[in-house]
Amino acid sequence: MNDFNMNNFSLEGKVALVTGASYGIGYAIASGLAKAGATIIFNDINEELVDKGINAYKADGIDAKGYVCDVTDEDAVQALVKKIEEEVGVIDILVNNAGIIKRIPMIEMTAADFRKVIDVDLNAPFIVSKAVIPSMIKKGHGKIINICSMMSELGRETVSAYASAKGGLKMLTKNICAEYGESNIQCNGIGPGYIETPQTAPLRVEGNPFNDFIISKTPAARWGTTNDLIGPTVFLASDASNFVNGHILYVDGGILASIGKQPEA
């Protein structure tokens, strides 16, 4: 009999930092990691969001610690990680979730807007990963999960900066795997499909043809929910995935597997 048992999926005793997790995908993921046993630390960009997050976790029976920290500010991130290590312990699981999108046709987009998206969606996962990896190496293990996107693989009108950042994040994921795999650090990505969150609210308003477009592009024939992302993330955070490294797990209802519905004859 081999020594695999279901405890390999447990996150009991693990410390998890989820960035930008006051609401939306980050909140759902952090709640799932907590249910699997992890201690949850999260940050967000301002006090109001952090308070909103703390109250929501409390209402769900989760004792999460929240901090204000801009993930693009390297000094602030280094200070946050030091504080977490002193107050709670070494971070075993990092989920780089904080992100922004600007939907602007490329030839109308300013270079400043393009840089801003790259800064939050690509530079920040580098900054936060860089801050946690040294202690993971010392501890002998670590899990980094980068929240990628359909736009890590596909392009579409108006999201040039976002697609560039999320494509880059896919490659940062593979590079962390290549560079630190031998230190027993696994770095993987989750690539959500189109998920119902405030970020996609403008695409889902009644009368927007984008809504039907997405449903018809998705073999599951629906938008995803934040809960759809929990199981895959718990798997990638747990010892059950210790030989899975540099992989992007797309949680997209099958969008990337399909050429799309054929037109009526």
Chain residues that interact with ligand GCO, rule: CB under 6 A = 101, 103, 149-151, 156, 159, 162, 192-194, 199-200
Residue 41: name the closest of 259, 50, 49, 70 by CA: 50
Our answer to whether residue 162 is catalytic in this structure is: yes
Query: Min. distance of Cβ 221 from ligand GCO in angstroms?
Result: 17
Residue 103 interacting entry, from ligand NAP, ligand GCO, none, C-beta within 5 to 8 Å by type? ligand GCO
Q: In the complex with ligand GCO, which residue's Cβ is closer, 64 or 101?
A: 101
Q: Name the segment binding ligand NAP (CB under 6 A); options: 38-46, 84-92, 177-185, 256-264.
A: 38-46
Q: In the complex with ligand NAP, which residue's Cβ is closer, 90 or 203?
A: 203
Using CB under 6 A as the binding rule, whether residue 62 contacts ligand NAP is answered as: no
Catalytic residue among 27, 57, 67, 162: 162
In whole angstroms, what is the distance from residue 150 CA to residue 152 CA? 5
Residue 44 interacting entry, from ligand GCO, ligand NAP, none, C-beta within 5 to 8 Å by type? ligand NAP
Using CB under 6 A as the binding rule, whether residue 195 contacts ligand NAP is answered as: yes
Residue 94: name the closest of 4, 200, 173 by CA: 173
Q: Tell me the catalytic residues.
A: 162
